[in-house]
Amino acid sequence: MPKYSRLTKQKKLILDVLRQTNIHPSADWIFEQARKEIPNLSLSTVYRNLSLLKKAGEIQELNYLETFGRFDGNPKRHYHLLCEKCKGIYDLDFPSQHHLEEEANKCSGMKVTGHCLFFYGLCDKCSE
């Protein structure tokens, strides 16, 4: 039987927790969920594994405004909408604006390699 290291097991669990939600959780939230499976897990282990998963391109960390430190199990490029009231983060089913980079390229003459576009407003619940 192959011997799995603790790190591998923890990393897999953290990835599973993150892939099974779409709330774009913080490391604390992931820690609380993962601890149900591995009670002796530490928060620093969660942070270390999140960093490894991010480097491996398995997950992303959101880094704009109040989304800083929130994680996304979907590594594909997509846009987000932040609710300014409840701080909920929602995926936006919005076509990727690749042409913006070409435009920026043309305008600046620089080699534009990416962009971030970020939306904020009020979710359904908060706008009632």
Helix, strand, coil shares, percent, the chain, to 5 = 40, 15, 45
- Which of 112/123 has CB closer to Zn ion? 123
The nearest distance, CB 54 to Zn ion, in angstroms, is 14
Binding interface with Zn ion (CB under 5 A)? 72, 83, 85-86, 88, 91, 123, 126
- Which of 45/71 has CB closer to Zn ion? 71
- Which of 13/82 has CB closer to Zn ion? 82
The nearest distance, CB 84 to Zn ion, in angstroms, is 8
Cβ burial 102-113 (10 Å sphere, 16+ → b, else e): eeeeeeeeeeee
Around 1, how many Cα atoms within 13 Å sit in the side-chain half-sphere? 3
